[in-house]
Amino acid sequence: MRNQADPVDGAVTVRVPAKVNVQLSVGGRRPDGFHDLATVFLAVGLYDRVVAAPAPELRITAEGLGVDGIPLDGTNLAARAAAALAARYGLEPRVHLHIVKDIPVAGGMAGGSADAAAALLACDRLWGLGASAQELRSVGAQLGSDVPFPLLGGAALGTGRGDVLTPLEVGGSFHWVFAVADGGLSTPAVYGECDRLRREGGDGDLAGQVPEPAADPGLVEALRSGDPYALAGCLANDLQAAAVSLRPGLADTLDAGTEAGALAALVSGSGPTCAFLAPDADTAAKIAATLGPAARVALAPAPGATVVD
């Protein structure tokens, strides 16, 4: 535990979910260094909390899972979110943000982005700004491609850098297991490895060769139906080969979960967390037991960032 906060009158607490990309189709590298995506985000029931309380100046504290891996200065994504929202309204970010982490750090589950999203909502309420959901998402998009989605939750198609969202219908609950790896993977390094593997597999202009990414209609229908067997047949992550190339041990983890009864396995986002879709709660518990103490069970879809008591 680091610098745990004392409870403060008038504080606003926001609970915010992690995500898994059930489809992550990556286009060619753009001149600005980003890649166009067609990704389907699914919010999962692993949550961080961010408590925003009045303070003379911006201050960050944190407790919980993996907090030694996150900065407690102005570079923390939640701090940057508070500063960006304040600047938009001509304010100083006079807030103490206390982050309670349960989402794996640097695990490909958008933990930092979730904290930024939670900070936006919490500061909006603390400062009485009344910003619209669209406005918060737009400030979020300036901070990172993954920041708008945790504000929305549920499931959504992400296009552009992944920040332009279209909500999707989900017709039931899906049982997931997440195998959290020791040590994170850097998102830019994984995208870079994806480019490198593609260059190795072909020649000429990389951007010209990669097809434009598009949503898989079968996957959208599988989500709508709520059928885990249908969804399992559609899971796809273009960054998986790159994550496995950088961390070859992930292949064994993916195999172990599948042998324990998962309908399908994939790397979550840029990894290294591995995600397993189970047919039911009992099988999910069995897969988690097989994978060991670092495995987490979670239901999806989860609601987006929410103010809680």
Ligand X SMILES: C[C@](O)(CO)[C@H](O)COP(=O)(O)OP(=O)(O)OC[C@H]1O[C@@H](n2ccc(N)nc2=O)[C@H](O)[C@@H]1O
Residues known to be catalytic:
19, 146
How far apart are the C-alpha atoms of 234 and 256, rounded to whole Å?
Answer: 20
Query: 40: part of which helix (H) or strand (E)?
Result: strand 35-54
Short-list 120, 97, 96, 109, CA closest to 66 = 109
Note whether 201 binds ligand X by CB under 6 A: no
Note whether 70 binds ligand ATP by CB under 6 A: yes
Query: 109: part of which helix (H) or strand (E)?
Result: none
- Out of 23, 76, 240, 283, which residue is the one contacting ligand ATP (CB under 6 A)? 76
Note whether 124 binds ligand ATP by CB under 6 A: no
The answer on whether 106 is annotated among ligand-binding residues is yes
71 binds, among ligand ATP, ligand X, none (CB under 5 to 8 A by kind): ligand ATP
CB-based contact 297:277 (threshold 8 Å): no
Which region among 67-75, 85-93, 129-137, 144-152 touches ligand X (by CB under 6 A)?
A: 144-152
The answer on whether 109 is annotated among ligand-binding residues is yes
DSSP alpha helix (H) spans, 144-176: 148-152
Give the bridge partners for 88, in sequence order. Answer: none
283 binds, among ligand X, ligand ATP, none (CB under 5 to 8 A by kind): none
- Out of 13, 270, 273, 283, which residue is the one contacting ligand X (CB under 6 A)? 270
Residue by residue, DSSP assigns 67-98 as GGGS--STTSHHHHHHHHHHHHTT----EEEE
Which region among 44-52, 93-101, 185-193, 300-308 touches ligand X (by CB under 6 A)?
A: 185-193
In the complex, what is the shortest distance from the CB of residue 5 to ligand X, in angstroms, rounded to a whole number?
26
How far apart are the C-alpha atoms of 73 and 242, rounded to whole Å?
Answer: 31
34 binds, among ligand ATP, ligand X, none (CB under 5 to 8 A by kind): ligand X
161 binds, among ligand X, ligand ATP, none (CB under 5 to 8 A by kind): ligand X
Short-list 102, 156, 151, 155, CA closest to 307 = 151
Note whether 191 binds ligand X by CB under 6 A: yes
- Residues 6 or more apart whose Cβ sits within 8 Å of residue 279: 175, 228, 229, 261, 263
H helix count then E strand count, the chain: 11, 12
Instruction: Specify the residue, 24 or 136, whose C-beta has the smaller distance to ligand X.
Output: 24
In the complex, what is the shortest distance from the CB of residue 280 to ligand ATP, in angstroms, rounded to a whole number?
27
In the complex, what is the shortest distance from the CB of residue 152 to ligand X, in angstroms, rounded to a whole number?
13
In the complex, what is the shortest distance from the CB of residue 169 to ligand X, in angstroms, rounded to a whole number?
20
Radius of gyration of the chain (CA): 19
Note whether 37 binds ligand X by CB under 6 A: yes
Note whether 300 binds ligand ATP by CB under 6 A: no
The answer on whether 112 is annotated among ligand-binding residues is yes
Binding mask 252-271 for ligand ATP (x = CB under 6 A): -----------------xx-
Instruction: Specify the residue, 97 or 117, whose C-beta has the smaller distance to ligand X.
Output: 117
How far apart are the C-alpha atoms of 279 and 294, rounded to whole Å?
Answer: 21
CB-based contact 258:150 (threshold 8 Å): no
Chain-centre distance of CA 10, in angstroms? 29
Short-list 198, 190, 300, 200, CA closest to 250 = 190
- List residues forming the annotated binding site: 104-114
Q: Which residues bind ligand X (CB under 6 A)?
A: 21, 24, 33-35, 37, 39, 110, 113, 144-146, 161-162, 187-188, 191, 269-270
